[in-house]
A and B are shown apart, each in its own frame.
Chain A
Amino acid sequence: MDIVIPDFTPAIPEIFILSMACIILIADLYISDDNRFITYLLSLATLVGASLLTINLHTGESVLTFNGTFINDTMADVLKIFIYLVTGVVFIYARGYLQDRNMFKGEFYVLGLFGVLGMMVMVSAHNFLTIYLGLELLSLSLYALVAMHRDSQDASEAAMKYFVLGALASGMLLYGMSLLYGVTGTLDIAEFRTNIGQIADPNQIVLVLGLVLVIVGLAFKLGAVPFHMWIPDIYHGAPTAVTLFIGSAPKIAAFAMIMRLLVDGLGSIHAQWQDILIIMAVLSMGIGNIIAIAQSNIKRMLAYSTISHVGFILLGILAGSKAGYSASMFYTIVYAIMSMGGFGMVLLMSRAGFEADKLDDYKGLNERSPWFAFMMLILMFSMAGVPPTVGFYAKLSVLQAVVGADITWLAVIAVIFSIIGAFYYIRIVKLMYFDKPEDMTPITSNAEMRILLSANSLGVLALGIFPSSLLALCMAAVPNL
């Protein structure tokens, strides 16, 4: 019996993150509360190290390893870089908030890093089991993160809900995968793709059933209607620092999961899943945007806004073209950046004993801090898709993919919902600029947060004026079909 030693090179960043997470976990035990800063710096250094490794190991080719269960291609590299970036920013934004609430513990960072590892595995998965493995690693880290604030009833409730519903969705996904395995006899995505054409007629129904269950699982993780119920409650209940994490980086991983499962694996039966995605996209945009109007809590509002953005992400995928997939990828990355800024603002405004999660807390921000009011203005208009912010190009590129796929009516529906959506975004602007402040407490937050949040918002504006490079990057990253 030959034992083949697999090529570890493509997975070096993953191995690095895993080792570092373990080291930090142990080192943190010996670090006193006063020196917790070291854990924080180590975690950031880990992310920087992983980015350097990913960039250095980038070959531009797609490499399979571990018996074809793990793939490293341009898309994986690009998505990983953004996952590091977003997570790094989350870590920095979260520090002040965690310190104020006595939650500045090593666990946050270690769990965050394990979450990153899970996302990286999802992004690079080339086998149904690897996808599931990555997903569970991510989900378990997130469940624990939500529950981190033990004294808070809301957080415990959210963690419980998240865990039960998440487990249910994972079960659906796993069941779908097992059906797909049943009809094709393989879990490997490349093999699956070739076997799918040879399925005997009576088994077609099993294939479709498997497909539907897989889509249910994916839709849950993304938060598409009708599997969106968890999003508002968990976003609301979780500590804002954790909401920030859940709301940004995992969307990138979820996009990768869709690309691997639906596009790579099930691409040949695109016609079968296109209609399902159309319905989910329309419902997500509709319900997300309409219900967001009724919210008075900004975290809930942003949660519903997430749902509507997911609808837009689905638009690009259902178009079924290279342009569509790269548009969705662009949208996902842009969304992660915008959502980072949006929740970042909530963190910036909060202080010990004050969550700043009511819409009314934003009243008269222009009087209190014109600079950050302007930053929030950019973010809100970007989420609404008004140029010259990058949110506009995200919408433009998915609409273009949809029109290119000859589903112009869907583009019309999408823009109608984006008008409805514009209302609640500009309501924030209204509160900040047109209303008088109710509380004049100066905004206290650490300098790194202020600088980074400004860079985040200005980045949204700068990418809106020069969107070309990011668009080209997404175009190059999506594999040719």
Chain B
Amino acid sequence: MFSDLPLLSLVIWTPIIGGVLVLFFSKDEQANSARWISLAFSVLTFVLAIPLYTMFDTTTHQMQFVELTPWITTFDVNYHLGVDGISMPLILLTAFTTVIVVIAGWEVIEYKTAQYMAAFLIMNGLMIGVFSSLDAILFYVFWEAMLIPMFLIIGVWGGPRRVYATIKFFLYTFLGSVFMLVALIYMYSQSGSFGILDFHGLRLSLNEQIYIFIAFLLAFAVKVPMFPVHTWLPDAHVEAPTGGSVILAAIMLKLGTYGFVRFSMPITPDASNNLDWLMITLSLIAVVYIAFVALVQKDMKKLIAYSSISHMGFVTLGFFIVYSIIENTGNAQGAALGINGALVQMISHGFVSGALFLCVGVMYDRMHSRQIADYGGVVNTMPVFAAFMVFFAMANAGLPGTSGFVGEFMVILSSFKANFWIAFAAATTLIFGAAYTLWMVKRVVFGDAVNEGVKKLTDVNNREFFFLALLAVVVLGLGLWPAPLLDVMNATVDHLVIQITQSKI
């Protein structure tokens, strides 16, 4: 019954229309209507996204649910949508996270509630648009438009240094993306089309590829974020309201790594091959060095932000290790393992980091502090919450049985096929990750209640219990039985491995 509906368009435009609608309920006394309408639209979006999974054909790498309409005829730009095994799970993740964020902001946001909810709904549509665009200009429009609501979310509802953080966030990401725009235009001048799939088949000399690769790298590395352009992230995370942090960590960062698999690697495979040492080095710096940075943080949100950078390093490592694996073993199987691991890591990190930010949000709403030193012995007054927090911390540290383990393990396993020392460095994260997360949990959750504030804490209410439990179920589910996710990706990843290893020179 769904097969003839333009599902992707519905999933993109439902939340955007909902967001605009919510804006009309901006009076203070209408805040409750704004909340319910937002919830309705975000749930509706998620429901509409479910058929994308249930009706997904796992046997093919071809784009599915394709929609193609001419849009800007002068430049041959089409409204071209479609998903494959890489983008479809990310769309579900986005729709799911938005529901959580709407619930999480329910009582907490009292200042301009309607605008807050509207920003998240509109951003939801735009992010799904990024994941489903098959036309470079359409992709770029969604990619950049997303900055506007995020800029406002951090700036309006953020912490004390929000203005600095949000302008830094905006300029950093804008800086990266405009170079991508030039690269896209250049490829258009070579191929006469803005179709991403046409770019995949476009022949380019090594020199051209390297320039294009660097342009993409600037755009995506800022979003991921990779060392050394990661400095906006801790600032943005710390100052953003809880919902903003969740969206940033769970989805925005994935846009960068998604860009690598959708653009950089298939379009410039030779440049990716030539420069994989650079990418691996940067990834390892992120994994190891940033883990140390996370260890010394005094602010919980900052700690989780650095932990995100470190985890995202795993994703980029999983992508770019492919070239050395094939060089060493000639075996595409191992290469696919690395990419699969990286993709699982993307999804898993979306849930885990989102959940951790929500945990910090729950505490912040009660104590108005994010400093680790202000807490201690939270378990005495908030036992249920403490259980969730410990669970998500374990997932963040990559405990087997949680989703965090699956991706990391696959990436480490595949890097052993490339180089022992790379694998060794990557594997240290299991130690450092455990160190910084569990140490934080120890200081915050366990021990005796350190001050009057902690003694007066009340445990999670139903609303908070609901979204934390929902996330816990997903994290545990993906950890114990990742097969549904892997099945969806398999055909696409196999095709991707072939695509990115064929020379285009």
Q: Are B163 and A411 in contact (CB under 8 A)?
A: no
CB under 8 Å from chain B, chain A span 408-429: 408, 411-412, 415-416, 418-419, 422-423, 426-427, 429
A392 close to B (CB within 8 Å): yes
Chain B's nearest CB lies how many Å from the CB of A383? 13
CB neighbours of A418 from chain B (8 A): 178
A381 close to B (CB within 8 Å): yes
CB neighbours of B155 from chain A (8 A): 429-430, 433-434
Contact with A426, one of B156, B167, B182, B186 (Cβ below 8 angstroms)? B167
Q: Are A415 and B182 in contact (CB under 8 A)?
A: yes
- A sample of 20 inter-chain contacts (CB < 8 A) reads A366-B115, A386-B147, A388-B141, A388-B145, A392-B144, A396-B181, A397-B75, A400-B185, A400-B188, A400-B189, A403-B185, A403-B186, A403-B188, A404-B189, A430-B167, A434-B156, A434-B162, A468-B72, A468-B74, A471-B72
Q: Are A396 and B148 in contact (CB under 8 A)?
A: no
| Interchain residue pairs A-B with the least CB separation, the first 9 | A415-B178, A387-B141, A471-B74, A434-B155, A468-B72, A403-B185, A387-B144, A388-B145, A411-B182
Q: Are B182 and A370 in contact (CB under 8 A)?
A: no
C-alpha gap A411/B179 in the complex (Å): 9
Binary interface encoding of chain B residues 131-153 relative to chain A, with 1 for a CB under 8 A from any of its CBs, else 0: 00000010011001101100110
Q: Are B174 and A467 in contact (CB under 8 A)?
A: no
C-alpha gap A412/B186 in the complex (Å): 11
Contact with A387, one of B115, B140, B188 (Cβ below 8 angstroms)? B140
CB neighbours of A282 from chain B (8 A): none
B26 close to A (CB within 8 Å): yes
**Which residue of B is nearest A378, CB measured?**
B148
Q: Are A419 and B189 in contact (CB under 8 A)?
A: no
Chain A's nearest CB lies how many Å from the CB of B185? 5
CB neighbours of A416 from chain B (8 A): 178
B175 close to A (CB within 8 Å): yes
Binary interface encoding of chain A residues 443-481 relative to chain B, with 1 for a CB under 8 A from any of its CBs, else 0: 000000000000000000000000110011001000000
When A381-B148, A471-B74 are in contact, do A422 and B170 touch as well, CB less than 8 Å?
yes
C-alpha gap A475/B74 in the complex (Å): 8
C-alpha gap A28/B156 in the complex (Å): 50
B171 close to A (CB within 8 Å): yes
Binary interface encoding of chain B residues 51-83 relative to chain A, with 1 for a CB under 8 A from any of its CBs, else 0: 000000000000000000011111100000000
Given contacts A467-B72, A468-B71, 12 further A-B contacts (CB under 8 A): A366-B156, A386-B147, A387-B144, A400-B189, A403-B182, A404-B189, A419-B171, A419-B178, A426-B151, A429-B155, A433-B152, A471-B75
Q: Are B148 and A386 in contact (CB under 8 A)?
A: yes
C-alpha gap A467/B72 in the complex (Å): 7
Chain A's nearest CB lies how many Å from the CB of B128? 15
Give chain B's interface residues, CB within 8 Å of chain A.
26, 70-75, 112, 115, 137, 140-141, 144-145, 147-148, 151-152, 155-156, 162-163, 166-167, 170-171, 174-175, 178-179, 181-182, 185-186, 188-189
Q: Are A399 and B182 in contact (CB under 8 A)?
A: yes
When A386-B145, A392-B141, A434-B156 are in contact, do A423 and B182 touch as well, CB less than 8 Å?
no
Chain A's nearest CB lies how many Å from the CB of B127? 14
CB neighbours of B115 from chain A (8 A): 366, 370
Chain B's nearest CB lies how many Å from the CB of A212? 31
**Which residue of A is nearest B162, CB measured?**
A434
Chain B's nearest CB lies how many Å from the CB of A321? 11
Contact with B137, one of A396, A403, A415 (Cβ below 8 angstroms)? A396
Q: Which secondary structure dominates where chain B touches chain A?
A: helix
Chain B's nearest CB lies how many Å from the CB of A419? 5
CB neighbours of B181 from chain A (8 A): 396, 399, 415
**Which residue of A is nearest B156, CB measured?**
A433
CB neighbours of B26 from chain A (8 A): 370
Contact with A411, one of B74, B166, B185 (Cβ below 8 angstroms)? B185
C-alpha gap A429/B166 in the complex (Å): 11
CB neighbours of A427 from chain B (8 A): 167
CB neighbours of B73 from chain A (8 A): 468, 472
CB neighbours of B163 from chain A (8 A): 430, 434
Q: Are A422 and B162 in contact (CB under 8 A)?
A: no
Contact with A419, one of B137, B147, B148, B174 (Cβ below 8 angstroms)? B174
Chain B's nearest CB lies how many Å from the CB of A126? 27
Chain B's nearest CB lies how many Å from the CB of A130? 31
Chain B's nearest CB lies how many Å from the CB of A198? 35
CB under 8 Å from chain B, chain A span 371-414: 377, 381, 386-388, 392-393, 396-397, 399-400, 403-404, 408, 411-412
Contact with B74, one of A386, A404, A426, A472 (Cβ below 8 angstroms)? A472
Contact with B171, one of A370, A397, A422, A475 (Cβ below 8 angstroms)? A422
C-alpha gap A423/B166 in the complex (Å): 11
C-alpha gap A429/B170 in the complex (Å): 12
Q: Are B182 and A396 in contact (CB under 8 A)?
A: no
**Which residue of A is nearest B190, CB measured?**
A403
Contact with B144, one of A386, A412, A429, A433 (Cβ below 8 angstroms)? A386
C-alpha gap A377/B122 in the complex (Å): 15
Chain A's nearest CB lies how many Å from the CB of B130? 12
C-alpha gap A403/B162 in the complex (Å): 38
Chain B's nearest CB lies how many Å from the CB of A364? 11
Chain B's nearest CB lies how many Å from the CB of A405? 9
Q: Are A400 and B141 in contact (CB under 8 A)?
A: no
C-alpha gap A418/B144 in the complex (Å): 14
**Which residue of B is nearest A395, CB measured?**
B181
C-alpha gap A3/B494 in the complex (Å): 82
Chain B's nearest CB lies how many Å from the CB of A80? 22
**Which residue of B is nearest A464, CB measured?**
B141
C-alpha gap A387/B115 in the complex (Å): 20
Taking each of B26, B74, B75, B186, which has the highest tally of chain A beta carbons within 10 Å of its own beta carbon?
B74
Chain A's nearest CB lies how many Å from the CB of B69? 11
When A399-B181, A403-B185 are in contact, do A426 and B141 touch as well, CB less than 8 Å?
no
CB neighbours of A400 from chain B (8 A): 75, 185, 188-189
CB neighbours of B174 from chain A (8 A): 386, 419, 422
**Which residue of B is nearest A384, CB measured?**
B174
CB neighbours of A429 from chain B (8 A): 151-152, 155
CB neighbours of A430 from chain B (8 A): 155, 163, 166-167
CB neighbours of B144 from chain A (8 A): 386-387, 392
C-alpha gap A404/B187 in the complex (Å): 10
C-alpha gap A400/B187 in the complex (Å): 10
C-alpha gap A388/B12 in the complex (Å): 14
Chain A's nearest CB lies how many Å from the CB of B138? 10
Chain B's nearest CB lies how many Å from the CB of A334? 14
Taking each of A386, A416, A472, which has the highest tally of chain B beta carbons within 10 Å of its own beta carbon?
A386
CB neighbours of A422 from chain B (8 A): 170-171, 174
**Which residue of A is nearest B115, CB measured?**
A370
Chain B's nearest CB lies how many Å from the CB of A119? 26
**Which residue of A is nearest B155, CB measured?**
A434
C-alpha gap A366/B152 in the complex (Å): 11
C-alpha gap A429/B340 in the complex (Å): 41
